[in-house]
Amino acid sequence: MNSLIALFITLLVTSVSAALVPQQRGTPCDAAWDVGGAEATPGLEARQPWDAVCADGDPRCDLDGDENRECRMTIGACVAVATVSCTPRAIRKVRIPRATRKKLPGLTLPPAGIAGCGDPVTLALPVSDTPVPLTLRSGKRGASRVRVRCKPLDPSLRRKELLLRVSTTTSDFDWGWVGAGHNYALSQGARFTACLSGCDDTTDPACDVRACTPKPLPPLPLLLGSLPVCLVLHIDEGQSLGTFDLASGALAMPVTLRADVHAQMPLSDVCPRCSGGTIGARGTCSNGERQQQACVVDAYSYVTGSSNPDYFLSSDCPPEATKLVTSLAIATMLTTGDSTLAGPTPCPEQFADDVCGEGACTVDCSGAEPTKRGINQMCCSTDQWTPCFPTAPDSPGAILRTGLATPLTPAWPSPAASHTAGAVLAATFCSPKTTDQSVDILYGLPGPVALLLPVDMEVHTVIAPP
């Protein structure tokens, strides 16, 4: 009978994260161990101790998250808490035996007469096959026993990740065929990630790559005349694979974006700000969906024309949902090579190539200082201060943006923990119209988009929970 009970419990709780280990002797709810994110499994017999195992570097249970031959686990002692096997009916006296106190100095129970868990403590365990036994006792014979252990990480859980951080070098974002929306600088410090597979540090540098950024990028404030626009970019989990070379740093990654366009934001705050004041600092959101709630500064942007042009931004501070005009679905390729979009009128429903009138988009104005801190590319022959895309038949005929790859350091092959490089990513693609007539007319939508994005690259190993 005991074996049947143990089997039933096993089916319910085997490999449960953040498990509560119930009492094996006496009423199961009287005393329990909170073993954090460790995998907790019962013994084969009902009265045998449970096992709580953490893998070295597993972020679910190892606090330092590093493979360093040690697990730092959180352990808590609980009284009269519900478990998978019972609901507490009364609070019984629970005590911590001396042998367990020696292993967990500072471990506390909740105040007398109160159900719940005491403050957890950290237990540092080396990787070993030998478990550390811990015991709680309740009443005369009740006991909750658990054996905690740190095991080596399953190699299949390791994966390489490519972190891309927008650098302080000048970037360039050109939106729409009119030219008024050209030469924006993108937010510095914004980060997104890509997952790598099929490569290693010593035998094969050719990686498959896909986008795997879990949350939206920090809002991007754009100001054109008296029309503020706040863009929030969501990078979808990549389905198509691109390529990344660990030796040369060359990248070609398909990316599917959802661009949420928010208009009619206040001129004083084109996008909500985070009050932290520097990247990485904590603060509160100035407005938006999470006004006055906590945030961490992810990026910085200078907004030309704003009364307060220094914007410290956070993905924790999205704009108000009521300001959303539309969500644009965009597919492109981020590359360290060449990206081209050939004309004339390369985008569906685009009805003009430029606003050069009797002239043509033929003037190289890259030496002129742009008003929005981006990079000048081409301008009209009739007005050398008007940016344009050279897609018309009397122009070069195509938009060209050229990225840059540099070899990673330390140079491949190398088993170093991380590899870094600078790069410039290029992309050209089409933007649909937004359904807000003011935005579409001012920017020239639907129309082309061109991007030059300097980034700091870092390749490192992360642990991917199954």
The residues pairing with 361 across neighbouring beta strands, listed in sequence order, are 380
CB-based contact 33:78 (threshold 8 Å): yes
Q: What is the token pair recorded at 25?
A: 């002797």
Residue 155: φ, ψ to 5° = -55, -25
Burial class of residue 329 (count of CB atoms within 10 Å of its CB; 0-12, 13-18, 19+): exposed
- CA-to-CA distance for 329 and 360, rounded, in angstroms? 31
Q: pLDDT 10s digit of each residue in the chain, 466 long?
A: 333 333 333 333 333 334 689 999 988 889 999 999 899 999 888 889 999 999 998 888 999 878 889 999 999 999 998 876 688 878 888 999 999 999 999 999 998 888 899 999 999 999 999 999 999 999 888 999 999 999 998 887 788 999 999 999 999 999 999 999 999 999 999 999 999 999 988 999 999 999 998 889 999 999 998 899 999 999 998 888 999 999 999 999 999 999 999 997 778 889 999 998 899 999 999 999 999 999 999 999 999 989 899 999 999 999 999 999 999 999 999 999 999 999 999 999 999 999 999 999 999 999 888 889 999 999 999 988 899 999 999 999 999 999 999 999 999 999 887 899 999 999 999 999 998 999 999 999 999 999 999 999 999 888 776 5
Cα dihedral: 453, 455, 460, 466 (round 10): -30
Question: Coil, strand, or helix at residue 100?
Answer: helix
pLDDT at 59: 83
- Which DSSP string corresponds to 248-315? T--EEEEEEEEEEEEES--TT-SS--BTT-STT-EEEBSSSTTBTSEEE--EEEE-TT-SS-EEEE-T
Nearest CA-CA partner of 311 in 220, 402, 426: 220
Region of 305 please: left (phi>0), alpha (psi -120 to 50) or beta.
left
pLDDT at 3: 38
